[in-house]
Amino acid sequence: MTITQLRYVLAVAEYQNFTKAAEKTFVTQPTLSMQIQKLEDELDILIFDRSKKPIELTEVGKKLVQQAKNIVNESERIQDIVDQQKGFIGGEFKIGIIPTIMPTLLPMFLHNFIKKYPKVKLKIEELTTETIMERLQDGHLDAAIAATPLQNENIKERVLYYEPFVGYIPSSHRLSQKVKIDISDLDVDDMLLLEDGHCFRDGIINLCKTQKSYKEESFQLESGSFETLIKLSNEGLGMTLLPYLHTLDISEKEKSNLHFFNEPSPAREVSLIFNKSELKMQIIEALHTTIAGIVKGAITFQNVKIISPLSKIKSD
C-alpha cells in the first residue's frame, strides 16, 4: 500500500470516473486503474463497484476512503514540518474568496503578498461560502476568506478585520438629510439587495428583522453586484447598504450619497478560514499578517470606529 495509491482512490471516489480521476492526478487511466487494482488485490477487497454508472464505493470502500483521507493529510503534514523547519514559505496554495469580498480586498493585498513571498504560487477562486466549506473539508482548498462566524467544528477561523456597513442613500430618499443613520431607520420596503444566494443579503435581512417586521414579498429589486445596486439607487429606486471597503472605489460624486451609522456601527466579521488539520500554516500566517495589516490601515485612515460588530451577520 502506498500514499500514491490512496491518492488515486480518493480521486476516483470524488469524480466517480477513472478517466477523469486520472486527468486530475496527472497519470494515464491505465496506470491509475492498475494501481487501484493492485491495492484491491493486496487487501483482498473491492473498493469500487464498477458495475454501477457512475462508479460507486462499496461499503468497505467508504470506510477505506475515510481513513485514506486521514493518511494522505498526515503525509502532507510531514512536508509541512520540513518546510517550517527550513523557514520555507512557498509552493502552491489554493484559496477561495467570497464574491462580496474578492473585488475590493484582492487588489489591496495581492501585489504586496506576491512581492514579499515570490515562492508562493497562489491559485485564487471566487466561490460562495457553501462551496468554500465543501472544498475546505475535501482538501481542495488550503484556506479561504469569508464572513464569519461559520460555527463549523472542522474549520478554524482567524479574524482579519471587522468591516462596517455604510448606507448608500440618494438625495431623493427619506433618509438623505440625516448625517448619520441608525439601524432603526432601516426599512426593508425601500432597500435594494443582492440577489438570493448571497449571504450579504441574508445579513441585511437579519439586521432589519431586529427592528421591524419582514415580508419576503417586499423585495422586488435584486441584483448580483453592488455596482448595479448603486445604479438602481441613483435612479431613485431605493437605498442600499455597502461593505465599507467597497465604498473606497466609488466616484467622488457617489461618495456624497454615503451615510455612516451612529456608533456602534453594524459590521461583518471577515476571517481567514482553514481546515482544522492546519496544513501549510506558514503560508496562512503570512497571508493573515499581510491582509490584516493592510486593511487595518485602510479603515483606520478613514477614521472608522467599530465598537460592537454584529457577529451574526455573514456575507458572500
Residue 313 in any domain: the answer is: no
Task: Give every CB contact of residue 308 below 8 A, 6+ residues apart in sequence.
Answer: 264
Q: State the amino acid at position 6 in one-letter form.
A: L
272 neighbors 145 (Cβ within 8 angstroms): yes
Residue 8 in any domain: the answer is: yes
263 neighbors 122 (Cβ within 8 angstroms): no
129 neighbors 203 (Cβ within 8 angstroms): no
Residue 121 in any domain: the answer is: yes
Please tell me whether residue 165 adopts helix, strand or coil conformation.
strand
Q: Regarding beta strands 120-126 and 91-97, do their DSSP bridges make them parallel or antiparallel, or are they unpaired? A: parallel
The count of structural domains within the chain is: 3
User: Residue 106 has what pLDDT?
Assistant: 94
Q: Which domain holds residue 216?
A: 163-259
User: Residue 308 has what pLDDT?
Assistant: 38
Same domain, 77 and 100: no
Distance CA 136, CA 149 (A): 15
Task: Give every CB contact of residue 225 below 8 A, 6+ residues apart in sequence.
Answer: 194
Residue 310 in any domain: the answer is: no
Same domain, 149 and 209: no
Q: State the amino acid at position 151 in one-letter form.
A: Q
What CATH number does residue 292 fall under? 3.40.190.10
Same domain, 48 and 122: no
User: Which residues are paired to 227 by β-bridges?
Assistant: none
Same domain, 167 and 207: yes
Same domain, 253 and 171: yes
Alpha helices in 184-269 (DSSP H): 199-209, 226-234, 244-247, 252-255
Tens-binned pLDDT, residue by residue, of the chain (316 aa): 999 999 999 999 989 999 999 998 999 999 999 999 999 999 999 999 999 889 999 999 999 998 998 898 888 878 878 877 777 788 889 999 998 899 999 999 999 999 999 999 999 999 999 999 999 988 889 999 999 988 899 999 999 999 988 999 998 889 989 989 888 888 877 778 775 445 555 555 555 554 444 444 443 444 457 888 888 888 888 888 899 999 998 999 999 999 999 888 888 899 999 998 888 999 999 999 999 999 987 876 454 444 434 444 444 6
5 neighbors 13 (Cβ within 8 angstroms): no
Cell numbers at residue 232, please? 438602481
Q: How far apart are the first and last CA of the chain?
A: 42
Distance CA 33, CA 173 (A): 65
